[in-house]
Amino acid sequence: MSDQMERKKRILSGIQPTGTFTLGNYIGAVRNWGSLQEDFECLYMVADLHSLTVRQEPAALRRQTREAAAMLLAAGIDPKVSLLFVQSHVPAHVQLSWILSCNTQFGELSRMTQFKDKSAKHADNVNAGLFTYPALMAADILVYNADLVPVGVDQKQHLELARNVAQRFNNLYSPTFTLPEPYIGKTGAKIMSLQEPDKKMSKSDSNANSFILMTDDADTILRKCKRAVTDSDGVVRAGDGKPGVTNLMSIYSSLTGKTFADIEKEFEGQGYGVFKEAVAGSVIDAFRPIQAEYARILADREYLDGVLKEGAAAASRIADRMVAKVYKKVGLVQL
Ligand code: TYM
C-alpha cells in the first residue's frame, strides 16, 4: 500500500469556552471526539477567539478556557494520541482567516443563520467579528487540511461555507485545500432545550432548567429531567406534536444505544415519571466518571498547561506550513 493510502484521515473540531459544556455539546460533539481517535488523526481545540464575538469577562474567559480543556481530556481525548490546543495559541488560524475573508462574499456571510440569531440576541454588539466568524472557522479547518469535522447539526451551515470557500480558492489559484466533510452522528446531533423543546439546548440560555451541564450533580440532573416539558398524552413515543418526549428519547437513546422502538417498549404502559428517572439515570451514569477525572485534571495546572503547550507547538508546525504556502500563492512576498 502506498503512503498516501495508509495515511489516516484527519479530523479537526472545536468548542467555545463560553461556559460549562452542556449535555447537547456532549452528545452532539464531545462524546464522539474520543472514540474517533483510533481511526483518525485528530486535532481538537478550545475556540477561545470565537467566543470574543460576544462580550466576555477576561478572568472568566481564562478560567473557562482551562476548564474546557480539562473537560475534553476528562471526556476521553488522549493527548498522547491526539492534539489538544487553544485556538489563540496557534496564530496561523488568524493569519489564514484574513486571506479567506478576502475570498468570502458579504452575501454568503449574511445568510448564516447563527449570525442572524446572535445579532438579534446581542443587538447592542453586532460586531464585525460576529459577521466574519465563519471565515475564521473555515481557517481552523482548512489550515490543517482536515478531511472530516465532527459537529452537531447547528454547525453544518458554517461547514458548507468552509467547503465553498476552499473550492473557490482552489479554482482561483491551484489545488490547495482539502474539501472538509461534516461528520454528524445519527442520533443526538441536535439536543433540544428541556423547557422549550423546539429550541436547541444552549449554555447561553437564561433559564438554567433548560440545559444540563456536564458538571451538574446527580440531584440537579434528576430535578432538571423531572421538570422537562413533555405533553399531556402520557405515552412514551416519538413523533410529531411530542417534541419534549422525542428529545428525552434522543438523549436516552444516544447514551444507552437503545433504539426508539426499544424505548417505546421498555416504557409501555408507564407514565413519564418513570421514564424521566431513567433518562436522568443514563445522564448521571455517563457523567459520573468524567466528573471525577475533570476535578483531578483541573487541579493539576502544570499537567494541563503542559498538554496545551505541546498541542499548540505541534499544531503550529502543521498550520504554519499551510499559511506559508497560501501566502505565496496569493502573491505575498516571501523573503
Ligand atoms: P459550540 O461551542 O457552539 O458547540 C460545540 C459543539 O457542540 C455542538 N452542539 C450541539 N450538538 C447537539 N445538540 C446541541 N444542543 C448542541 N449544542 C452545541 C455543536 O454543533 C458543536 O459541534 N463554531 C463552533 C466552534 C468551532 C468549530 C471550529 C467547530 C470553531 N471552529 C472548527 C468545528 C470546526 C461552535 O461555536 O461550537
Task: Write the pLDDT tens digit of every residue in 249-297.
Answer: 999 999 999 999 999 999 999 989 999 999 999 999 999 999 999 999 9
Q: How far is the CA of 185 from the centre of ligand 1 (A)?
A: 13
Residue 2 has pLDDT above 70, yes or no: no
Q: Is the CB of 76 under 6 A from ligand 1?
A: no
Confidence of residue 110 (pLDDT cuts 50, 70, 90): very high
pLDDT, residue 185, reads 82
Residue 200 catalytic?
Answer: yes
Ligand 1 pocket test, candidate residues 88, 151, 159, 184, most atoms within 8 A of CB: 151
Task: Give the integer Cα–Cα distance in Å for 33 and 36.
Answer: 5
Cα–Cα–Cα angle for 75, 280, 238, rounded to 5 degrees: 105
Instruction: Name the region of 323 (left: φ>0; alpha: ψ -120 to 50; beta: rest).
Output: alpha
Side-chain half-sphere exposure of 56, counting CA atoms within 13 A:
19
Biggest CA-to-CA distance, the chain = 75
Ligand 1 pocket check for 212: Cβ under 6 Å:
no
Phi, psi for 151 (deg, rounded to 5): -145, 170
Distances from the Cα of 46 to the Cαs of 102, 127, 328, in angstroms?
Answer: 25, 21, 29
73 vs 299: CA distance, rounded Å: 13
Would you state the pLDDT for residue 5?
Answer: 56
Evaluate whether 78 touches 147 at the Cβ level (below 8 Å).
no
User: Percent of the chain at pLDDT above 70?
Assistant: 98
CA of 149 to the centre of ligand 1 (A): 10
The span from the CA of 183 to the CA of 153, in Å, is 9
Buried-exposed string 239-259: b where 16+ CB fall within 10 A, e elsewhere: eeebbbbbbbbbbbbbbbebe
Indicate whether 1 pLDDT > 50. Answer: no
Mean pLDDT, rounded, of the chain = 95
Residue-wise pLDDT tens digits, 216-225: 999 999 999 9
- Mean pLDDT confidence for 317-330: 98
CA 39 to chain centroid, in Å, comes to: 19
Look up the pTM and report it: 0.95
Distance 326 CA to ligand 1 centre (A): 27
Mean pLDDT computed over 192-218: 96
Find the catalytic residue in 190, 200, 224, 242.
Answer: 200
Length of the chain: 335
Can you say how many angstroms the Cα of residue 129 is from the centroid of all Cα atoms in its chain?
A: 19
Residue ranges with strand state E in the chain: 10-15, 41-46, 83-86, 148-150, 181-183
- Of 9, 156, 203, 329, which is the active-site residue? 203
- How do residues 63-107 score in pLDDT, each as one tens digit? 999 999 999 999 999 999 999 999 999 999 999 999 999 999 999
Task: Please compute Rg for the chain using Cα positions.
Answer: 21
Strand bridging mode 148-150 / 181-183: parallel
User: Measured between alpha carbons, how far is 103 from 43 in angstroms, rounded to an integer?
Assistant: 25
Q: In 3-state terms, the chain is what percent helix, strand and coil (to 5)? A: 55, 10, 35
Angle between the N-to-C axes of helices 92-101 and 301-330, in degrees from 0 to 180, rounded to the nearest 10: 40
d(CA 45, CA 72): 9
Residue nearest to atom 5 of ligand 1 (CA): 15
Residue 244 CB partners (closer than 8 Å, separation 6+): 194, 197, 228, 229, 230, 231
Tell which one of 11, 13, 15, 132 to mutate to probe ligand 1, the residue whose CB is within 8 A of the most ligand atoms: 15
Strands laid side by side in the 83-86 sheet: 83-86, 41-46, 10-15, 148-150, 181-183
d(CA 259, CA 268): 14
